[in-house]
Structure 1
Amino acid sequence: MAEGEDKDQKTHDPTQKKLDDALKKGDVAKSQDLVTWFLLFISTLVVATMAAGSAGGLAVPLKNLIANADLVTVDRAGGMRLMISLILAVVVAVGLPFLGLFVAGIAANLVQHRLVFSAESLKPKFSKISPMAGAKRIFGPDALVNFLKGLAKITLVGVVIFTVLWPQRSTIDSIVRMDVEMLLPHTFSIVMSVLMAVVAIMAIIALADYVYQYQRWYTRQKMSIQELKEEFKQSDGNPEVKGKIKQLRRERSRKRMMANVPTATVVVTNPTHFAVALKYEPGMVAPVCVAKGMDLIALKIRELATASDVPIVENVPLARALHASVEVDQPIQEEHFRAVAEVIGYVMRLKGTMR
């Protein structure tokens, strides 16, 4: 029974396949507070840099409208032209700020996870309309945690706003008695102070919430021993996976074999079809095959041998026999000792003559 309980415990880190499957389903670590912070930050930036320009862009057409109100025609065509001009003025004035907010919303999600397109959330699920599931969502542990988080956020933001506004209480009291020219700069200064303070505290809240959401998501992806076994069976039994593994092994073995060709003592070839690279050093019991191949691989071995100044000896029957009987990194068989010794002796004499 203890063993069965252990199998159900998800205590093992998720595999890459499990994480990839979760991503395909749209199950990602996401903090809504981080999205809120990005939007708030861009909004503050927009207010600080574009508020005056946007206000001016709207003020000009409105002033013209008021100043020339007696010239405006009220028929259908005139009203349509007036409506279009006002809409264009509003779009020009607020278009760039709204574009900034749109980009901020996308960036807030890309910071947390890569772009995901999944229709999983659109599939009908009984749990979405189940009264029991709904009650669990409302009164469950997650709902309680979210309520406490919301209460803590409201408290922190409220304390920060109070801390910023309290030293300026005398200025706020005098706003109602200020001239219009003085009113806007003072109001703008107070609003910017509050926004920057809220952005600062929300940055801390968003970072903490993202860490919390990521930990919850990662814990949710953890796997039990049984799940690990099942995934291993599926991966190991997949013919495509097996074929890919074999292909990778062959490529690695071929690269390693080709890297050994420059270290060979001699390459025995059938002029076009076979090539066997042998290595012999004093003290060896028998020469060792460091590379072998047919056709294109044999051609590559001959090219590497030529480039590395490794002697090439053409011996059709010996090349065929060695290729059929010896494996890479293995010594040659005893029945080939005499023939190979003659070849290596010839190579040694040739090298001695050249020296």
Structure 2
Amino acid sequence: MAEEQDQERTEQATQKRREDFRKKGQVAQSKEVHTALLLTSALLLWYFYLPFFWPRLQFLVADIWRRAGEIDVTGDSVYDLALALLQQVGMLLAPLLLMVLVVGALGSIMQIGFLLTTKPLEPDLSKLNPIQGAKKFFSKRSAVEVVKSLAKVGLVGFVAFKTVHASFAESVLLVDAPLGETVRFLGRIAGLVLFKSCGVLVVLALFDYLFVRWEMEQRMKMTKQEIKEEFKETEGDPHLKARVRSIQQEMARKRMMAEVPKADVVVTNPTHLSVALKYDRETMLAPQVVAKGADHLAMKIREIAREHKVVMVENVPVARALYQLEVGQTIPEEMFTAVAEILAYVYSVKKKSF
């Protein structure tokens, strides 16, 4: 384990590691994107909603003042007034609240897609460790967050200052202006400050999102040992798989050798090939390859054939062609003539032996 910890994380994350991070809720999600998206949506909604909101608010305030002198101050009357006021204010603010919910969900889906996991909510006793908690305050990530917060405050503050400063000369003229004119001026300046600040936050959100994705890629990187361990978990230990494959091949070889004594003929290439054929007119449409081998295995097939008096025929081109077939496969039609001649020879030899 110590060796694994000393290794550098130089390998790109595998698909399984990415899925594991995602299941744990560890995804590349920027808070600045939520802030910028929420502020932008709020400003746009407010811009189009204000012509409807402002007259309704004026009517509500005027109605309260008009009815204030007519209401008897009792528990029931105060309760009814508060309930009616809450309903009216709730209806006015409902579009804003709905917008916050929709934009909040949309901001997450835009960054990480649809993700529903309870893993981050599971209790983790390590989070109660005061030493580990203190380390987070002095970590590199905390320093980065502080720098980003200071940069955001500084840029937004600078934009707000420049906007207000540019209108300072105009504001001096409002000393003798009517109250309505002053309110409209302040509203216009506030709107400019908000829209410019919104633009700054959008740019910051873009850079922050790219940084968060890069940071997550760095966190998900793996060591070579982790790659090997994951491969063992998903694909199995390669040494064990090789051992199993070797055992399976040995069992298949033994089954194949058991079929050699039942063969009608073994066609050989004098150098290194042996192919055993079997043909049963009642059960087979054509001869089948029941065993084949090269080099040492070819010699073993010949040895078993001699022990059980299976006829061997040397035919280089036929042996090479038959060796290309799989064990249990019926010979192709183009080889019928050549194999038929060999089998005819075999049957004649067997008749002479009897």
| TM interval, short-chain normalised | 0.5 to 0.7
1:39-118 map, 5 Å: 39-118=38-117
**Cα distance in structure 1, aligned partners of 2:176 and 2:92:** 31
- Offset at residue 155 of structure 1 (A): 1.4
Query: Are the aligned partners of 1:318 and 1:339 in contact in 2 as well (CA < 8 Å)?
Result: no
Q: 1:333 to 1:7 in 2, by over 3 A?
A: farther
Instruction: Give the structure 1 partner of residue 11 of structure 2.
Output: 12
**Cα distance in structure 2, aligned partners of 1:339 and 1:193:** 94
Q: 1:332 to 1:88 in 2, by over 3 A?
A: same
TM-score normalised over the length of structure 2: 0.66
Task: Provide, for residues 95-118 of structure 1, a one-character-per-residue CA deviation record: whole Å limited to 9, x for no partner.
Answer: 101211221111111111022222
Count matched residues.
263
**Aligned Cα root-mean-square deviation (Å):** 3.2
Larger Rg: 2
- Offset at residue 55 of structure 1 (A): 2.4
- Offset at residue 158 of structure 1 (A): 1.4
Task: Out of 206-215 and 79-88, give the one that drifted further.
Answer: 79-88
Q: Secondary structure at the match of 1:68?
A: helix
Q: Secondary structure at the match of 1:13?
A: coil
Matched, 1:192 2:191: yes
- Offset at residue 164 of structure 1 (A): 1.5
- Offset at residue 227 of structure 1 (A): 0.8
Q: 1:336 to 1:48 in 2, by over 3 A?
A: same
**Cα distance in structure 2, aligned partners of 1:85 and 1:340:** 101
**Cα distance in structure 2, aligned partners of 1:335 and 1:61:** 97
- Offset at residue 142 of structure 1 (A): 1.9
Q: Which amino acid aligns with 1:110?
A: I
**Cα distance in structure 2, aligned partners of 1:114 and 1:324:** 56
Instruction: Give the structure 1 partner of residue 219 of structure 2.
Output: 220
Instruction: Give the structure 2 partner of residue 138 of structure 1.
Output: 137
Q: Structure 2: give runs of 5+ residues left out of the alignment.
A: 242-280, 292-324, 341-354
Q: 1:46 to 1:335 in 2, by over 3 A?
A: closer
- Offset at residue 28 of structure 1 (A): 0.4
Q: 1:323 to 1:168 in 2, by over 3 A?
A: farther
Instruction: Give the structure 1 partner of residue 201 of structure 2.
Output: 202
**Cα distance in structure 1, aligned partners of 2:153 and 2:121:** 32
- Offset at residue 175 of structure 1 (A): 4.1
Q: Which amino acid aligns with 1:61?
A: L
**Cα distance in structure 1, aligned partners of 2:286 and 2:75:** 98
**Cα distance in structure 2, aligned partners of 1:337 and 1:320:** 8
Q: 1:318 to 1:183 in 2, by over 3 A?
A: same
Q: Which amino acid aligns with 2:75?
A: R
- Offset at residue 92 of structure 1 (A): 1.1
**Cα distance in structure 2, aligned partners of 1:172 and 1:128:** 53
TM-score normalised over the length of structure 1: 0.66
Q: 1:90 to 1:174 in 2, by over 3 A?
A: farther
- Offset at residue 122 of structure 1 (A): 2.2
Q: Secondary structure at the match of 2:69?
A: helix
Query: Are the aligned partners of 1:57 and 1:89 in contact in 2 as well (CA < 8 Å)?
Result: no
Q: 1:150 to 1:53 in 2, by over 3 A?
A: same
Q: Secondary structure at the match of 1:124?
A: coil
**Cα distance in structure 2, aligned partners of 1:192 and 1:327:** 81
Q: 1:178 to 1:337 in 2, by over 3 A?
A: same
Instruction: Give the structure 1 partner of residue 25 of structure 2.
Output: 26
Q: Secondary structure at the match of 1:73?
A: coil
Instruction: Give the structure 2 partner of residue 168 of structure 1.
Output: 167
**Cα distance in structure 2, aligned partners of 1:134 and 1:6:** 22
**Cα distance in structure 2, aligned partners of 1:147 and 1:32:** 14
Q: 1:324 to 1:131 in 2, by over 3 A?
A: same
Q: 1:4 to 1:83 in 2, by over 3 A?
A: closer
Q: 1:175 to 1:333 in 2, by over 3 A?
A: same
**Cα distance in structure 1, aligned partners of 2:181 and 2:334:** 107
Task: Provide, for residues 254-295 of structure 1, a one-character-per-residue CA deviation record: whole Å limited to 9, x for no partner.
Answer: xxxxxxxxxxxxxxxxxxxxxxxxxxxxxxxxxxxxxxxxxx
Query: Are the aligned partners of 1:26 and 1:118 in contact in 2 as well (CA < 8 Å)?
Result: yes
Q: Percent identity?
A: 29
Q: Which amino acid aligns with 1:163?
A: K
Q: Which amino acid aligns with 1:35?
A: H
Instruction: Give the structure 2 partner of residue 275 of structure 1.
Output: none
- Offset at residue 224 of structure 1 (A): 0.7
Q: Secondary structure at the match of 2:115?
A: coil
**Cα distance in structure 1, aligned partners of 2:32 and 2:225:** 36
- Offset at residue 85 of structure 1 (A): 1.3
- Offset at residue 19 of structure 1 (A): 0.2
Q: 1:339 to 1:88 in 2, by over 3 A?
A: farther
Q: Which amino acid aligns with 2:141?
A: D
